[in-house]
Amino acid sequence: MHAIGIDIGGTKIAGALVSENGEIIAEDRQPTPAGDAAHIVDIVSSMITRLQAGHEVVAAGVAAAGFVDAGQSTVYYAPNIDWRNEPLQRYISERVSLPITVDNDANAAGWAEFRFGAGRLLTDMTMLTIGTGVGGAIVTQGRLFRGGFGAGAELGHLRVVPDGLPCGCGARGCIEQYGSGRALLRMANGIADAGGIGLALADARSRHGELNGTIVGEMIAAGDPGAVNALQELGRWLGQACASLAAVLDPQVFVFGGGVSVAGDLLLDPIRESFLQHLPARGYHPEPGFVIAELVNDAGVVGAADLARIHAGRR
Amino acid sequence: MHAIGIDIGGTKIAGALVSENGEIIAEDRQPTPAGDAAHIVDIVSSMITRLQAGHEVVAAGVAAAGFVDAGQSTVYYAPNIDWRNEPLQRYISERVSLPITVDNDANAAGWAEFRFGAGRLLTDMTMLTIGTGVGGAIVTQGRLFRGGFGAGAELGHLRVVPDGLPCGCGARGCIEQYGSGRALLRMANGIADAGGIGLALADARSRHGELNGTIVGEMIAAGDPGAVNALQELGRWLGQACASLAAVLDPQVFVFGGGVSVAGDLLLDPIRESFLQHLPARGYHPEPGFVIAELVNDAGVVGAADLARIHAGRR
Amino acid sequence: MHAIGIDIGGTKIAGALVSENGEIIAEDRQPTPAGDAAHIVDIVSSMITRLQAGHEVVAAGVAAAGFVDAGQSTVYYAPNIDWRNEPLQRYISERVSLPITVDNDANAAGWAEFRFGAGRLLTDMTMLTIGTGVGGAIVTQGRLFRGGFGAGAELGHLRVVPDGLPCGCGARGCIEQYGSGRALLRMANGIADAGGIGLALADARSRHGELNGTIVGEMIAAGDPGAVNALQELGRWLGQACASLAAVLDPQVFVFGGGVSVAGDLLLDPIRESFLQHLPARGYHPEPGFVIAELVNDAGVVGAADLARIHAGRR
Amino acid sequence: MHAIGIDIGGTKIAGALVSENGEIIAEDRQPTPAGDAAHIVDIVSSMITRLQAGHEVVAAGVAAAGFVDAGQSTVYYAPNIDWRNEPLQRYISERVSLPITVDNDANAAGWAEFRFGAGRLLTDMTMLTIGTGVGGAIVTQGRLFRGGFGAGAELGHLRVVPDGLPCGCGARGCIEQYGSGRALLRMANGIADAGGIGLALADARSRHGELNGTIVGEMIAAGDPGAVNALQELGRWLGQACASLAAVLDPQVFVFGGGVSVAGDLLLDPIRESFLQHLPARGYHPEPGFVIAELVNDAGVVGAADLARIHAGRR
């Protein structure tokens, strides 16, 4: 039977009716009315009702950035949409006739990759979502790892530099500041300031007013040496973080999703090289794979739907 | 029904017959013939046979330092006893009439704490064993976390300093070099060299030829300001590592075992304080507890026995 | 007999007819059509033809930023005008009736200083050209040092800080990022942000929209304490680089050219002081001189002409 | 015609009669009476007289550690044998009937490699001699590079870390402190302190009282992971230094001599890997070769003899 997945992002709310095999049967999309929790609940509820119409649906899962409690019902803290302790599960349940579960969006995306994408033949996977920030998901022995309070797998906040760059989480030196899309822009700006291989970046910056992810991404794709150099620096930091994560989590594969991951091998190569240089007990520790996520755009809704189905006991 | 647990340490091999409630019914102990794998197999096999005599025993579990494969049968690499790819499970199975499983010793100790000690009322626990090195164990949703290749939870090799002190694992900057008993001695020696609060340490060092864990431990217990200062430095590093681990693992409790943990609150206080200073999303991330392990001496054998019982399907 | 020198800069192409004594007999100047290699070849060829008319000319030398092959014919890589592997010598030879050689522009400028300027009485000289970037030239035993592949004397890419600021060359921590005109602007902006001695810089910045080399240069000449402080920081970095270079190259004199060198002793004093602080084996290593280049504006064309004359075997 | 080469080392004085093809016809060896300059002159003079007897000999060259003046006659400063401003050329000339020249020992060894060893088919070579310290030699366009005062090519004193480890030369952060045999021992001791892969080093250290080059060298040859790890760290530093040197000197090949170089590819592999990571303008800069010296033991005497023959105008 089908399930519904909803992914509340910073700019849009995406919804989909998803089959047991992870296929999208129908979808919907609305802009996010940021900061207006009640309005978001309305949009999500009517989106679920619309997607459900005329189908047998077993459950609906809602994914959002932020901490979700271990009971999968309350959003403690969602930085992008300014939520604090919102009992989202209850609010939506009052408006629709389906079992509702709430999950962290990176967990939903990771789960989708594990079930239907890059991790589908394995049991233990670690995923890093390289978007504006760095999200994480952990699957172990075929189960999503949520942590004791539901706040685990916040892999973007692994510290890589003591007293390093300040992070939006209030700590310092988190890998999010060295391995995210935002970090890539900081590195690209540094290279633009340096002349030489940075001249094309500097030129693009003055033509467009400032660099953004689209511009830098296109320059990476076109092989601009400055933009590729910034991506390599990003990759080396991610490889170092993965070396620490391998000591803790020992996944069979690291999967990289999010907007930056479209760079493919240009991103994976420096990650892998730096990983091997920093891997504890290299030569004794089995080496994981490094791959790009396969479901980039739909991962959130597909994963949220599947997690809701599992929570409802139908898989 | 009872199970047998064996813990192969660097200096001694301990064995015990353990009840379903974690009680020790009988025990045995032999010196470790380091480097002589065949001899170790003989000692372990006859120890199991002796402990088994006259009891109904369901299985025997053997714990050793090092990487153990995901099938719980082969020791990839045991640094202290110089093993490489030893099929320990097979060797012992050929000599005894019980199902045999092999496990990492920190995992066994952690599992014992989870089942019968400091973690017994919870579902998610992270344990750090602070001995000569730093061992780790992770329990999530009531299950031991082993990783995709059986080499997970090597928490001593989380990196805390890029290009930091060289580590026995071949990498650099691992928490083992900042949070272990060996690190405590390095810190105590540094304070002894510095005069002032280090004068009593310097004095002890010249009386005994060199500082060791027993001397420094006694001086900590006696409140010597230099020795306590070294312990606080150690605690602050451990607290920083726990802040990174909380972002990844989000345990309900951190448990500290191993010889250094007898320092109790003198160790826990700087850990907790430093943890809060470095915790990502402090104020939003639920705070775990920090406690000392309860089964210090018996944890290895009790855990190995219980894991063998589970593996044999009898719990 | 005369020779012709051409200097292809980022903004203009300069050409001169030069006597055997380094005197300029006639000159020409055109804007650089950046990025359009064919057009540059046209401009250079007709400039040579025009300068040659009515004179006996032995050869023409063309200088450009970037790597030139050891055979002095191909530009591997010219970052400012976006050239890759251009057989510049062949293109121009097809259009003019003179022997043509190609050289790196910093080498040409350095050679001119050695022959006719600050190094004329010596045998071993190291020159640093402090413009937007940092160029280099080495003369040893009266010969220009080109390196095994023609890519030597790239002194701006000596590393002074491991994992330091990203450089336009793709590496990090190069002296170009700490000792160039671009670095001077970065330092001046940092001081402008700091208040106190930076207030006049901050004021100039808000009046002009941003700081540039002309503004900062005028403020240095006028003795503004913030601008002079930035120059001193620059000088200290250059002095440290010279200490490393002295261990390798042991020149009799360091010559400083380029736009920033007009600051004269205000630049040389902190260089010399920092050099002595960091010189290996100070007290045993003979001390080189530190002087400002004498031919600042004409060095490129004069040197290119003289190198072409030597290559043609006429000196 | 033959020439004589003498190499005054810290522990022994070696002499040889050398053919024009670099073959050793006869040799001699005496212990060095350290600190006694007059006695050294006696030993060297009678060694030359003995080697000369019955042969036609064109000149004799004497090599010693330290700075030698550009006229190849005076030793400014020889740290190992405590010489200051010794007119060695004159002292020996008064006792023997041959033209005498004096040279730095690393220059002599480098020249031998260039003429008869690893650099014999090339024109531009940079050699690093990795012994207790780090020596250097530069050949460019087929000529030995001596610098303006004869004190060039002191490559061990290129700075790699600002405010780094103190160096015997009085400066800080020289590559000699990160890439020499002495540095290898420091790194090996650090790993011995770290447990794990350092256990065999720690064991060797307590058996022998302390680690020395022979012990660590044998452990590297036997593949001990701790000793190999120390060598890899050494190699990574040397690779970084070579990246800076390539920007300045652009050799066709880097040759590694001295005791540590017997490690062969175990040393070259991390050097090459780290070189490529740090090479300025990687992808545009032609890549040099990395090879081990071929004449390890005889390089000093063979090179000193050949340099004396050249100085005497007989080649």
A79-124 residue pLDDT tens:
666 677 778 899 999 999 999 999 999 999 999 999 999 999 899 9
CB contact under 8 A, C250 and D151: yes
Residue D212 included in any domain: no
Task: Provide the edge-to-edge strand list for the sheet that holds B143-144.
Answer: B143-144, B134-140, B125-130, B253-257, B289-292
Place of tokens 């705070």: B287
Is the pLDDT confidence value at A215 over 80?
yes
Confidence of residue D315 (pLDDT cuts 50, 70, 90): low
Structure tokens at D257: 């001599």
Residue A12 included in any domain: yes
Q: What is the 3-state secondary structure (H, E, C) of A220-258?
A: HHCCCHHHHHHHHHHHHHHHHHHHHHHHHHCCCEEEEEC
Q: B80-94, C150-164, D147-161: which range is least confident on average? A: B80-94
Residue B50 included in any domain: yes
Instruction: Find chain A residues with C-beta within 8 A of D281's C-beta.
Output: 196
CB-nearest to B251 from A148, A244, A278 is A148
The answer on D77 and D126 residing in a single domain is: no
Over the stretch A151-193, which tens digit does the pLDDT of each residue have? 999 999 999 999 999 988 889 999 999 999 999 999 999 999 9
The answer on B306 and B275 residing in a single domain is: no
Confidence of residue A71 (pLDDT cuts 50, 70, 90): confident
Q: Rounded mean pLDDT of B18-31?
A: 95
d(CA D303, CA D22): 8
Instruction: Find chain B residues with C-beta within 8 A of A76's C-beta.
Output: 284, 286
Residue D267 included in any domain: yes
User: Residue D79: its pLDDT value, please?
Assistant: 63
d(CA C247, CA C83): 34
Q: What three-state secondary structure class fits A203? A: helix
User: What are A's interface residues with D at a Cβ cutoff of 8 A?
Assistant: 196, 225, 281, 283
Please state, rounded to an integer, the average pLDDT across all residues of chain C.
92
Shortest Cα–Cα distance, D165 to chain C (Å): 13
Shortest Cα–Cα distance, A101 to chain B (Å): 18
d(CA C307, CA C102): 9
Q: Rounded mean pLDDT of A112-141?
A: 95
Give the helix ranges, DSSP H, for chain C. Answer: 37-52, 88-93, 105-116, 176-179, 181-193, 199-208, 213-221, 225-249, 265-278, 299-311
Over the stretch B152-191, which tens digit does the pLDDT of each residue have? 999 999 999 999 999 989 999 999 999 999 999 999 999 9
d(CA D288, CA D118): 13
Give the helix ranges, DSSP H, for chain B. Answer: 37-52, 88-93, 105-116, 176-179, 181-192, 199-208, 213-221, 225-249, 265-278, 299-311
Residues 6+ apart with CB under 8 A from A297: none
User: Residue C67: its pLDDT value, please?
Assistant: 81
User: Residue C315: its pLDDT value, please?
Assistant: 65
Confidence of residue B13 (pLDDT cuts 50, 70, 90): very high
Nearest to C243 by CA among C162, C150, C175, C153: C175
Is the pLDDT confidence value at C228 over 80?
yes
The helices-and-strands tally (H runs, E runs) of chain A is 10, 13
Q: What three-state secondary structure class fits B74? A: coil
d(CA D53, CA A160): 69
CB-nearest to C168 from A196, A230, A233 is A196
Instruction: Find chain C residues with C-beta within 8 A of D155's C-beta.
Output: 247-248
Q: Rounded mean pLDDT of C86-97?
A: 90
CB contact under 8 A, C248 and D152: yes
User: Residue A256: its pLDDT value, please?
Assistant: 97
CB contact under 8 A, B133 and D195: yes
pTM here is 0.85
Mutate to test the interface with D, among C250, C278, C279, C282 (most CBs of D within 10 A): C250
Instruction: Find chain A residues with C-beta within 8 A of B104's C-beta.
Output: none
Is the pLDDT confidence value at B81 over 70?
no
Q: Which residue range(s) make up the domain with A71?
A: 2-112+298-311
Shortest Cα–Cα distance, D187 to chain C (Å): 19
Q: Greater confidence, A36 or A118?
A: A118
Task: Provide the edge-to-edge strand list for the sheet that holds A67-68.
Answer: A67-68, A75-78, A83-86
User: Residue A81: its pLDDT value, please?
Assistant: 65
Q: How many CB atoms lie within 10 A of CB C174?
A: 33
The answer on D267 and D151 residing in a single domain is: yes
Is the pLDDT confidence value at C84 over 80?
no
Residue A21 included in any domain: yes
For A154, the closest chain B residue by CA position comes to: B247
Confidence of residue D29 (pLDDT cuts 50, 70, 90): very high
| Alpha carbon distance, N-terminus to C-terminus of chain A | 10
The answer on B279 and B146 residing in a single domain is: yes
User: What are D's interface residues with B at a Cβ cutoff of 8 A?
Assistant: 187, 190-191, 193-199, 225-226, 229-230, 233
The answer on A277 and A128 residing in a single domain is: yes
Q: If you count residue pairs, one on B and one on D, with CB atoms under 8 Å apart, how many are there?
A: 42
Residue D189 included in any domain: no
d(CA B297, CA B295): 6
User: Residue C9: its pLDDT value, please?
Assistant: 87
Over the stretch C28-74, which tens digit does the pLDDT of each residue have? 999 998 778 889 999 999 999 999 999 999 999 999 888 888 778 78
CB contact under 8 A, B170 and D229: yes
User: Residue A315: its pLDDT value, please?
Assistant: 65
User: Residue D142: its pLDDT value, please?
Assistant: 93
Over the stretch A267-311, which tens digit does the pLDDT of each residue have? 999 999 999 999 998 878 889 999 999 997 899 999 999 999 998
CB-nearest to C67 from D154, D174, D285 is D285
Instruction: Find chain C residues with C-beta within 8 A of D140's C-beta.
Output: 140, 145, 147-148
Residue B31 included in any domain: yes
Strand partners, D26: D17
**Number of structural domains, chain A?**
2
The answer on D87 and D24 residing in a single domain is: yes
Q: Greater confidence, D121 or C270?
A: C270
Calculate what percentage of chain C has a pLDDT beyond 70: 97
CB contact under 8 A, A147 and B250: yes
User: Residue C289: its pLDDT value, please?
Assistant: 96
CB contact under 8 A, C250 and D124: no
User: Residue D305: its pLDDT value, please?
Assistant: 97
Task: Provide the edge-to-edge strand list for the sheet that holds A289-292.
Answer: A143-144, A134-140, A125-130, A253-257, A289-292
E strand or H helix at D273: helix D265-278
Q: If you count residue pairs, one on A and one on D, with CB atoms under 8 Å apart, how many are there?
A: 4
Nearest to D86 by CA among D111, D110, D62: D62
The answer on A169 and A254 residing in a single domain is: yes
Residue type for A281, please?
A
The answer on B251 and B105 residing in a single domain is: no
Confidence of residue C94 (pLDDT cuts 50, 70, 90): very high
Chains touching chain A through at least 3 C-beta pairs below 8 angstroms are B, C, D
Say if CB D95 and CB D45 are below 8 A apart. yes
What is the residue-wise DSSP string for B130-184?
Answer: ESSSEEEEEEETTEE---TTS----GGG-BSSTT-SB-TTSSBSBTHHHHSHHHH
φ, ψ of residue A129 to 5 degrees: the values are -100, 110
User: Residue A313: its pLDDT value, please?
Assistant: 81
Q: What's the CATH number where A76 sits?
A: 3.30.420.40
Shortest Cα–Cα distance, D51 to chain C (Å): 33
CA dihedral A156, A157, A161, A164 (to 10 degrees): 100
Confidence of residue C76 (pLDDT cuts 50, 70, 90): confident
Instruction: Find chain D residues with C-beta within 8 A of A235's C-beta.
Output: none
CB contact under 8 A, D196 and B166: no
Chains touching chain B through at least 3 C-beta pairs below 8 angstroms are A, D
E strand or H helix at C8: strand C2-8
User: Residue B1: its pLDDT value, please?
Assistant: 87
Instruction: Find chain D residues with C-beta within 8 A of B132's C-beta.
Output: 195
CB contact under 8 A, D280 and C162: no
Confidence of residue C137 (pLDDT cuts 50, 70, 90): very high
E strand or H helix at D44: helix D37-52
The answer on A278 and A136 residing in a single domain is: yes
The answer on A171 and A24 residing in a single domain is: no
User: Residue C309: its pLDDT value, please?
Assistant: 95
Instruction: Find chain A residues with C-beta within 8 A of B275's C-beta.
Output: none
For the complex shown, is ipTM > 0.90?
yes
Structure tokens at D127: 């050699």
User: Residue B66: its pLDDT value, please?
Assistant: 81
d(CA C82, CA C35): 6
DSSP structure class, residue B98 = S
Say if CB B106 and CB B136 are below 8 A apart. yes
User: Residue C259: its pLDDT value, please?
Assistant: 92
Confidence of residue D80 (pLDDT cuts 50, 70, 90): low
Q: Rounded mean pLDDT of B103-129?
A: 95
Residues 6+ apart with CB under 8 A from A186: none
Is the pLDDT confidence value at A266 over 90?
yes
Q: A7-11, C172-176, D7-11, D64-68: which range is least confident on average? A: D64-68
The answer on B20 and B62 residing in a single domain is: yes
CA–CA distance from B214 to each of B11, B294, D17 (Å)?
16, 20, 64
Please state, rounded to an integer, the average pLDDT across all residues of chain D.
92
Q: What three-state secondary structure class fits A32? A: coil
Cα angle at B181 between B127 and A239, to 5 degrees? 60
Structure tokens at D93: 């000339």
The answer on D128 and D105 residing in a single domain is: no
Place of tokens 């290895």: B300
Instruction: Find chain B residues with C-beta within 8 A of D197's C-beta.
Output: 79, 168-170
Residues 6+ apart with CB under 8 A from B310: none
Q: Rounded mean pLDDT of B244-270?
A: 96
User: Residue B198: its pLDDT value, please?
Assistant: 92
Q: Rounded mean pLDDT of A41-63?
A: 96
Residue D70 included in any domain: yes
